[in-house]
Amino acid sequence: MGTFAFFYFAGIIVATAGMVVAFKNPIYSALALLVMFFHVAGLFVTLHAEFLAIIQILVYAGAILVLYLFVVMLLNLKREEHFHRQLLVGVFLGCVLFAEAVLLVLKGETTLGNSLPAADTSVELTRGNTESIGELLFSTYLFPFELASLILLVAMVGAVILTKKGILEVKN
Amino acid sequence: MSIPFADLVTIIPELLVVGIACLILVLDPITPTHKKDFLAWMSLGVLGVCALVTMSGFGGSAMAFSGLVLVDAYAAFWKLLLYLVSGLTILLSMSYLKEEKIDLAEYYAFVLLALAGMMVMVSGADLLTIYLGIELMSITLYIMAGFKRFEARSIEASAKYFVLGAFSSGILLYGISLLFGVTGSTRLTEIAAAVNGSALDDPLMLLALMLIIVGFGFKVAAVPFHMWTPDVYEGAPTSVTAFMAVASKAASFAAFLRVLLEAFGGVKPHWNVLILGVCLVTVALGNLVAIVQTNVKRMLAYSSIAHAGYALVGVVVAGWVGTAADISSRGVSSLMLYLAIYSFMTLGAFAMVAMLRKGGLEGEEIEDFTGLAKRHKGGAFLMMVFMVSLAGIPPTAGFIGKFYLFMAAVNAGLAWLAIFGLIFAAISAFYYLRIVMVMYMREPSPEQEKHTRLVLSPQVSVVLAFALVGVVFLGIFPGPLVSIADLSVIPISSLK
């Protein structure tokens, strides 16, 4: 059952991700992306990471995708853009690299993973998912957590600088 | 939640840099326009304090935040170099931003935040922190590249850098996640333990390693991942270009080398040939394409690609199988020495480009340097020194840097690599010395004589003086820097 669920979710994720790139109409792309986000959330559920599944839907489907749609509709991108003249070369190289990756993975059994300890399931049983993640974020991974907040600060200030009217033009 | 005090002490420089950056953002709106320079001086001040803090702890080694941050001599060396480079960038920017009418105080906050990202990169002991450091640095640089937002070129540079940078981050992350999947950890030491205990040609590990090398290849602008470099370097404001070409390259190399040696030190045969190939094409393509450039910024972009190729010689030596431990560590230290020297000469060259004005615009074409020696003897002389040093001609520091790198290659039994590098260094003299020729031997047209001039400010003079002293002093007395670099290499016991 677990394997079947994985292949269902993974298959749909790959297919819809392909559609995001292939569709000419950006609205269709965004909708394909939406389906993909839901299936990623499904993958998280099969891994017993319910908190991440909900966050995936809230943040990606709820916030980021809506933002995409806003931008697409505001910019009114109707005409087709033919900017990729290297399509054939790209597809060829992509196929070669993909075949190489598949060969690498099929060639031999990976031995690295065998030394991994079995998943510790006791944590999920005694307390909630959210609690464990929260505790890890604010203890072991405090430093990267704060770094991520700095990245968001930079992006925010940067968006203001690059778009706000009147901060540079006044001087020119 | 409690943070051990000792952890905070370890990252005092990072805290100071980020703190002052935020203070600048807060103070900017309430500072009267004629006093804005104060904010730049403040950011310079914090760099000085950080340098003192880092120097006082030099030689020690401390882990913090449950093994995510490692402050050792290697990190300290790069941090000191990054403080210096950021300080010189700020000095260079003070008058340049006014000339270009983009003097926003946020610029200085961004320099500091990018610096904070680089500091995290060089002292990251975990792929998670290293990745976040790279993102902090890159996102800041995407924005800084677009600072001249009324100019299409600058916006194009920013957008191009952003798209390709995000793409390369994705590749790097894919590699990291595969590696996490097979080793169960993102800590460099734990990855090393898992990798060493496994079969050598584990397919998933190879795939992860390849993706990580590609991701870092983008950041250090090695061929074939260099396509963004010329356009971004040309379009970005010159002071930002200097910062990107020097600081972000140094930090990326530092993190790249640490990941390769500390996490993959046990499987050198899997990456040294790959790096060797990248090194060869980078040196060749960088130097050959630089010859046909007519824009100085583009030429310096290709030159920076070529120099990344030379620096990769150090990585190849450090990763070559069958070399004694002292020779592989000589590979590391000569790379550190090379990038320090590269910083001086490249900053000097970009400072000259930033100073040269043509009417109200930047004089960035090679033609604009025509006959400069007639009008600005000192300026032309400085430019000549930097060009000669970039070409690697004695008695400048550029020669010393190449000398140590190629000697390390010869000692590792890679004499042919040293000869290959030498041939292309000779080819590079052609395009570097063309600028010298144009400055000294061509007559300027009356129009050029009228419009092109060097705009000197006290701050830029300080930058040029630093760069000149660095290039000349290190060319004649490289001893002190060599011994500092030797002291700061990644401890050899961790190189298996």
The 3-state secondary structure of B135-203 reads: HHHHHHHHHHHCCCCCCHHHHHHHHHHHHHHHHHHHHHHHHHHHHHHHHCCCEHHHHHHHHHCCCCCCH
Portion of chain A with pLDDT greater than 70, in percent: 80
Q: How far apart are CA B362 and CA B366, in angstroms?
A: 12
- Length of chain B (residues): 496
In a domain, A104, yes or no: no
Query: Given CB atoms, is B33 within the 8 Å cutoff of chain A?
Result: no
Question: Does residue A118 surpass a pLDDT of 70?
Answer: no
Write down the pLDDT at residue A82.
Answer: 61
Q: Is residue A152 part of a domain?
A: yes
Do A140 and A74 fall within a single domain? no
The answer to the question of residue A153 being in a domain is: yes
Residue B4 Ramachandran class (φ > 0 left, ψ -120 to 50 alpha, else beta): beta
Chain B contact set for A105 (CB, 8 A): 203-204, 207
Which residues in chain B are contacts of A140 at CB distance < 8 A?
65-66, 68
Residue B190 touches partner A, C-beta closer than 8 Å: no
Note whether residue A4 is domain-resident: yes
Contact B102 A168 (CB under 8 A): yes
Return the number of CB contacts < 8 Å for A and B.
116
The band of A125, judged by pLDDT with boundaries at 50, 70 and 90, is low
Burial class from Cβ neighbours inside 10 Å (0-12, 13-18, 19+) for residue B15 reads middle
Which domain-ending residue is among A18, A48, A79? A79
Structural domain contains residue A161: yes
Per-residue confidence (pLDDT) for residue B200, from 0 to 100 = 59
Pick the closest to residue B485 from B333, B335, B257 (CA basis). B333
Find the residue in A nearest to B150 (Cα): A169
- Classify residue A151: in a domain, yes or no: yes
**What is the model's pLDDT at position B201?**
67
Tens of pLDDT, residue by residue over B318-352, are 988 877 788 888 899 999 999 999 999 999 999 99
**Hey, CA dihedral for B417, B423, B425, B431, is it positive or negative?**
negative
**Burial group, residue B164, by CB count within 10 angstroms (0-12, 13-18, 19+):** middle
The tokens describing B123, both together, are: 């002292």
ipTM reported for the complex, 2 dp: 0.90
Compare CB distances from B106 to A139, A142, A161 and report the shortest one's residue: A161
Q: Which residues of A touch B198 (CB under 8 A)?
A: 111-112, 115
Return the pLDDT at B7.
87
Q: Is residue A118 one of the residues assigned to a domain?
A: no
Which residues of chain B, if any, have pLDDT below 70? 1-2, 198-201, 491-496
Model pLDDT, residue A70: 87
- CATH number of A41's domain: 1.20.120.1200
What is the chain B residue with the closest CA to A100?
Answer: B207
Q: Domain range holding A158? A: 124-166
**With contacts defined as CB-CB under 8 Å, which chain B residues touch A110?**
182, 202-205
Query: Would you say residue A115 has pLDDT above 60?
Result: no
Binary contact (A161, B147; C-beta < 8 A): yes
Select from A22, A51, A79 the last residue of a domain.
A79
pTM, full prediction: 0.93
pLDDT in tens, B128-184: 999 999 999 999 999 999 998 888 899 999 999 999 999 999 999 999 998 998 888
Neighbours of A128 (CB within 10 A): 12
Measured between beta carbons, the chain B residues lying within 8 angstroms of A155 are: 139
Q: Which residue has the higher pLDDT, B374 or A124?
A: B374
Domain ranges for chain B, please list them.
5-494
Look at residue A111 and tell me if it is in a domain.
Answer: no
